Chain A
Amino acid sequence: MTEPGLLDILSFGPGGWGQALALGALMTILIAVAGFLIGGVIGVFGAWAKIAGNRPVRILADGYTTVLRGIPDLLVIYLFYFGGSAAITAIGHWFGAQGFIGFPGFLAGACAVGVTSGAQHTEVFRGAFRAVHQGELEAATACGMPRMLRFRRIVAPLTLRHALPGLGNVWQVVLKESALVSVTGVVELMRQSQIGAGSTGLPFNFYAIAAALYLAISSISSLLLQNAERRFSRGMRRT
């Protein structure tokens, strides 16, 4: 048997891994997007708690960000994967099911990535809110806007605008973190490359392709982000 070359591996035909790798890359993006969105929701509430919360709520939010930024992401993924499985198995026994029930890896991975990135989202949103000028909030109140309207029309758009660069960084971190979800057995880009490396005996080629695909995804998303930043700062003066 001759060794397949790089192009044979990438081909979409029979014997090629092109389709599998493309699906893996898609799965990676899905995990990253799901994790990013979960983290975003956590971040909004975390920032709210840190800015406007009373003492216990603030302490809780501070504890959350400190802990999640101090422990490895892999540990959190294990917590969600094994912890979720243990919980589901326990619930299953309740209903008379037998044996071990695995927690879906995608869900565990997305939750774990979401919870870890939530800590970073919290700090990004908090900093972005700090950057909103007090005068604009006062002006909105002076116009007689109720709290919700002020939040929807003034606070949220301005905060998001200031948060955009920070969110871009968080997205890049989340994208790279999604590779760790491969330990739960979800067939995303990393896991697919492991499978390919195992069955062809060409680990270098497969991991190099995976690296190139990760680079491509992160480069394209950073280009999109730059565009978005330019678009949303039209109304801002350069200082």
Chain B
Amino acid sequence: MDFAFAWETLVSLLAAVPLTLQLAASAILLGTVLALLLALARLSGIRPLDWLARLYIFVFRGTPLLVQIFLIYYGMGQFPAIRHSIVWPLLREPYWCAILALMLNTAAYSAEIIRGGLLSVPHGQIEAARASGMSSFLVFRRITLPLAIRQALPGYGNEMISMVKATSLASIITLMEVTGTAAKIISETYRVIEVFVVAGAVYLLINFVLTRLVGLIEHWLSPHLRQPRPITSLSQGEPA
């Protein structure tokens, strides 16, 4: 392994990390909002809403992300109505197409994770909240949602990691994020192993930090599962 070359590669790949992070973060944030709406539609008990959400989830989980990206990036331009519409400046840019496709895709997966979380909230807790006179929105905001988030977090962490990995597909529609830059260096130098090792290490590092962050949030959200800290400052008093 040529370390000087590996170092050079690392420098150019690190320059591409912000784009990868941007894509992943925007897709996850926007996707979460859509996922919550989808999960609520699934649980709303209103038939048409439920079926619409089911169909959405079925289609987006059953087709490859690459097809979705191509449908949005190449497919939309086929229609003159879209080409002349107000959204065209956005749909023309690979950046926004990638974010849109990633967001729509992650929303389908996250919706099921959030739905699982919402369903796992013990009924007694909701009953108790109702009995204390909370309105249904307040029950949702204060009781159901926080408990559901805590429950859904491990699954959600996995989905975030697969989103970070999925951003690599944006390189196929010309975005130079980490994988795109790596592929470019490979095709210029034909030194596959070095570039692969460095790019792999970059992704592993991102995902390691992400896993740790999710773990921290999980820890922070579940104080009730931990042993209480021993109280040390009381020992100064008179012994009984």
Contacts and interface: CB of A to CB of B under 8 A. Distances in A.
Contact of A72 (B179, B186, B192): B179
Contact of B183 (A78, A179, A180, A190): A78
A211 B196 contact: no
A67 B66 CA distance: 23
Given A190-B64, A190-B66, A70 B75 contact: no
A70 B161 contact: yes
B182 interface: yes
Interface stretch (A10-18, A156-164, A200-208): A200-208
Contacts of A79: 192, 196
A207 B71 CA distance: 6
Q: Name, among A71, A193, A201, the residue most crowded by chain B CB atoms within 10 Å (CB to CB).
A: A71
Contacts of A190: 64, 66-67
A74 B70 contact: no
Given A67-B204, A72-B203, A75-B200, A215 B64 contact: no
A130 interface: no
Nearest to A66: B204
B169 A180 contact: yes
Contact of B74 (A71, A177, A203, A219): A203
Given A190-B67, A194-B70, A74 B171 contact: yes
Interface in B140-173: 161, 165-169, 171-172
B196 A70 contact: no
Contacts of A182: 66
B59 interface: yes
Given A75-B199, A79-B196, A214-B63, A70 B208 contact: yes
A183 interface: yes
Interface string A58-101: 00000000110111111100110011001000000000000000
A71 B200 contact: yes
A71 B203 contact: yes
Contact of B59 (A183, A194, A211): A211
Interface in B76-97: 76-79
A74 B175 CA distance: 14
Contact of A210 (B67, B77, B168): B67
B62 A183 contact: no
B193 A83 contact: yes
A204 B79 contact: yes
A66 B193 CA distance: 19
Contact of B165 (A67, A72, A205, A207): A72
B7 interface: no
Interface residues of A, number: 40
Contact of B204 (A71, A86, A205, A215): A71
A179 B203 contact: no
Contacts of B165: 70-73
A197 interface: yes
A75 B182 contact: yes
A179 B168 contact: no
A74 B190 contact: no
Nearest to B73: A203
A66 B204 CA distance: 9
B215 to A, nearest CB: 15
A214 B207 CA distance: 29
B19 interface: no
A197 B74 contact: yes
B75 A208 contact: yes
A22 to B, nearest CB: 17
11 contacts: A74-B172, A176-B63, A176-B65, A179-B66, A203-B75, A203-B78, A204-B71, A207-B67, A211-B67, A211-B71, A215-B63
